[in-house]
Amino acid sequence: MRLDGGFTLRLAVAEAFQLFTARGERDWVEGWEPVFPEAVADDAAVGTVFLTDHGGQPVTWVVVDREGDRRIRYARVAAGRDAGTVDVRLTPVDSLTEVTVTYELTALTPEGGEWLRKFAADYPDMMSSWESAIAKSLS
């Protein structure tokens, strides 16, 4: 299932990019605590692996692609539930940044299918909550 969404940030692209790295999300996602199996200097480097247990679901993440400060793509596997990619694209518009977030997910189990249907229904609200949480973290 492919889900597209987005929002605008009052930040330059380079500043906005940092918010979508493993460590950067700690600034605005409550309970987000990535764990790195190996020490990494650049958590946005291709090949970086990290683990999260956000919302009680263990997830393994791998940075699979990066284009400077304009794009980062992660592969993610939530064991026994779903797997896929998360692609974050940042486009400068004057002094603002347009953020486009695309999830491409596949359910791994029937329960994962139920979770994915709910995730899809809630996706627009999730994008709005991301925009609000980031704005709050910057104020």
CATH code of the domain in which 52 resides: 3.30.530.20
pLDDT tens track of the chain, all 139 residues? 999 999 999 999 999 999 999 999 999 999 999 999 999 999 999 999 999 997 789 999 999 999 999 999 999 999 999 999 999 999 999 999 999 999 999 999 999 999 999 999 999 999 999 999 999 999 8
How many CB atoms are located within 10 Å of the residue 104 CB? 15
Among 63, 133, 78, smallest CA distance to 111 is for 78
User: How far, in Å, are 14, 25, 38, 62, 67 from residue 90 at the CA level?
Assistant: 9, 15, 28, 19, 10
Domain of 17 in residue numbering reads as: 2-138
Domain count, the chain: 1
pTM score, two decimals? 0.94
